[in-house]
Each structure stands twice: as structure tokens, then as C-alpha cells.
Amino acid sequence: MRLFAISDLHLPFGADKTMDIFGPEWQNHAHRVAAAWKRVVRPEDVVLVPGDLSWGMRLTDAQPDLDFLGGLPGSIVLVRGNHDYWWQSLARVRQALPPNVFALQNDFYPLPGGLAVCGTRGWTLPGEEEADESRDCGVENGAGGCGDRTGAGEDQAAQAQDRKIYARELVRLELSLQAAVKAGRRPHFAMLHYPPTGARGQETGFTQLLERYRVKLCVYGHLHGKRRAGAVRGVVRGVEYRLVACDAVGFEPVLLWETGAADAGTSAPADARSDTTADAASS
Ligand SMILES: [Fe+2]
Ligand SMILES: [Fe+2]
């Protein structure tokens, strides 16, 4: 089994929307992703897709995009992105998913060797340029990201709302991590839609949780175009971060890990995990 990731597919099959306006690299991107996916991913593999899956506003709009995933090889794990308006009721989403697709929310996805993938959507970090769910991708106006608030000096009410969502997303990430630990698994992989930290890897509520639970590799998306320059990459305080937005990985699922490999997530001793579990459970 091998673990891959690719984010921000922004699939267009259920909505009259094209990504071509975002640049020539996005032309026909869904079919190019599918071709690459079928070339590299085997049925026994797992692919993490952390958010911005579909342009669909309602679940029925997103159904063709979900069915598109159902035609791809491998098991697919989703978390919600800021553009996934179709993802409202988790129960209804899960009913609509093809058999090979799992929607992760407040729980985890098991991997061989007692490992687990945990995650949540995440949100704009305190002190950073704000975002909200009502904005379209900013690529066409040069901002290069999804969900950017465009007006200067946006209102305090919106910032307060951002802080509230940020706090809720921290709770959701910890619920996910705790669920894995309670099941006796090591949450060595995490997937967030939003970057969990800035380019310099400053401490945030998300990084604190990832470090406390000894996550080894965290993938995320959301940053496109020019915004990719602000992406955190590499190992920060023991956690490796990778931007896997599809334009950042060449529109091809990127290999993260495979069973038997002595890399991400496999080197931490089980007794260290037990210590972490005790600490985490009391927080
Ligand atoms: Fe996106
Ligand atoms: Fe996004």
C-alpha cells in the first residue's frame, strides 16, 4: 500500500465553471489529473484529497464530481475545503460517496501498521490576512489564493467570526487526533485544507496539536499561484509540512509513504506514543 496526496481538484463536472481563467496550467486539468492518477495509483493505495474538491454548491451539484472520484483507483480520503459548500450534513455526504471515498470529520482513517490519518479543514490563522467562505478564488485578481477577502480593513465582526471558526477547527483537529489514539493508532499523518502555519513555521494552535500528538507529516492545500510562495515546507519542530494543491504538485498525486518504508511516521517508538497519548488526553 502506498499513500499519496493531491488537493484542490476544483472539479467542474457538476457546475458550469472552468479553472482555465486561473492560468494555462489549469486547462483540462481534471482529465489530466485523472490520467496521472490512473498511471501512478494502484487499487490498494490511499490518496488524501484535503479540500476544495468541487465547485458544486449543493450535494446534487457535486455528485458528478464524487462519481468522478469513484472511477479512480485507490481509496480516497477527503476533508472539506472552503469552497466545498456542497459538504453540509456529514451523514448526507457519506450517503452520496462512492464506496472508495471516505469523508473524514472528527474521526480518522486507518492505515496499515497501526497508523492513522487525521485532519480537518483548518482556517485562516490569527493575524494573517483574513478569509471567509463567501469569497471566490482570488487567482483571477492576482491574489493567488482561495477565499480571500478583498477589501482593505474588513470589519471586526468578520474577524471575530474568523476567530470563532479557527477555534472550532482546533477542536475538530483534536477530536480527530484523539479518536485515532483512543483506537490504539498512531496519528502520524494529518491533512488540512488551510495551511496550519505560515511560511516561517510560526507556532499556531494547529502546529501545537500536531506536535503534541507527534504527527510526522502534514499535507495541506488552499494556496495557489503566487500564494504558493508563502507555503510552509519541510520539517518544523518535528513535523514535515507539504503543500499538495494540485497546481503545486504538477496535477499528479504525490507519493508520501509506503508500507515498509522507513520514512514519515514509522520511526517514532510506540512508548513515545503512549506518553503523548497521556499528555494529550488531559489537554
Ligand atoms: Fe483551492
Ligand atoms: Fe481553498
Q: How far is the CA of 81 from the centre of ligand 2 (A)?
A: 5
* Alpha-carbon distance values, 245 to 20, 81, 85, 90, 191 (Å): 16, 11, 18, 23, 12
Asked if residue 63 lies in contact with residue 46, where contact means CB atoms within 8 angstroms, the answer is no
Q: How far is the CA of 8 from the centre of ligand 1 (A)?
A: 5
> Any idea which ligand is nearest the CA of 135?
2
Alpha-carbon gap, residue 112 to 272, rounded angstroms: 19
Helix/strand/coil for 206: helix
pLDDT digits (tens, 9 = 90+) for 120-142: 999 999 888 644 433 444 333 33
Q: How far is the CA of 270 from the centre of ligand 2 (A)?
A: 35
Read off the pLDDT of each residue in 176-189 and give the average, rounded to a whole number. Answer: 98
Q: How far is the CA of 111 from the centre of ligand 1 (A)?
A: 26
pLDDT digits (tens, 9 = 90+) for 72-123: 999 999 999 999 999 999 999 999 999 999 999 999 999 999 999 999 999 9
Q: What is the pTM of this model?
A: 0.86
pLDDT for position 59: 97
Q: How far is the CA of 84 from the centre of ligand 2 (A)?
A: 9
Q: How far is the CA of 147 from the centre of ligand 2 (A)?
A: 6
Is residue 212 predicted with pLDDT exceeding 70? yes
Closest of 72, 75, 81, 64 to residue 15, by C-alpha: 64
How many domains in the chain?
1
CATH of residue 6: 3.60.21.10
Q: How far is the CA of 194 from the centre of ligand 2 (A)?
A: 7
φ, ψ at 24 (rounded to 5°): -65, -25
96 CB-near residues (< 8 Å, 6+ apart): 59, 62, 63, 66
Local confidence band at 45 (pLDDT 50, 70, 90 cut-offs): very high
Q: What is the residue range of 248's domain?
A: 2-281
Is residue 146 predicted with pLDDT exceeding 80? no
Local confidence band at 54 (pLDDT 50, 70, 90 cut-offs): very high
At residue 272, what is the residue type? A
pLDDT for position 263: 52
Alpha-carbon gap, residue 215 to 238, rounded angstroms: 8
Q: How far is the CA of 37 from the centre of ligand 1 (A)?
A: 19
Closest of 61, 1, 3 to residue 257, by C-alpha: 3
| 128 grid coordinates | 494573517
> Any idea which ligand is nearest the CA of 7?
1
